[in-house]
Chain A
């Protein structure tokens, strides 16, 4: 069985500050890990994915995440927050082929001027 825990349902940062969204996973097999972003009244958009090729993964909009097997973590970071980053972020774990995704409960990122 696979599961995802996202620490903090809400994270508030100032514009220009570091963004850190936390994700821990549980998986009985080597996982594939994903971060998705959801803007209001929209579906989910893929930010980045970890597929075992490299532990540091770069995604769109300046986001990146680091896979740490020893900590079973896949935290999402961005050096400098922008107002347009305000959205809900979901971490998900999945497998290969037609495996489904298991999502965390999400973290709402609030960015203040």
Chain B
């Protein structure tokens, strides 16, 4: 089944404890992206990747890191999480980094930072 998976789905952590949210897609997509969703603000792009070893900042990259060592994986790293990073996170992928490709989303990761 073609899909985007994220792990963990739910995470409660404490300020300053490094964490990684994994994202994997099995559709051989070139483009992958991370978003956070907060009430009233919609989906905001954190980082995106156009292909292996090619990543760039979205609108809200502060406090996050990403890597793209393999085509299928695009982990999101929070080196020192803070309470303002409490949010719902979505990973997405699309066939190419083109204006014309829809994005396929993972099921989301609900993160709480205490």
A and B: interacting chains: no
Interface residues of A (CB under 8 A from B): none
Interface residues of B (CB under 8 A from A): none
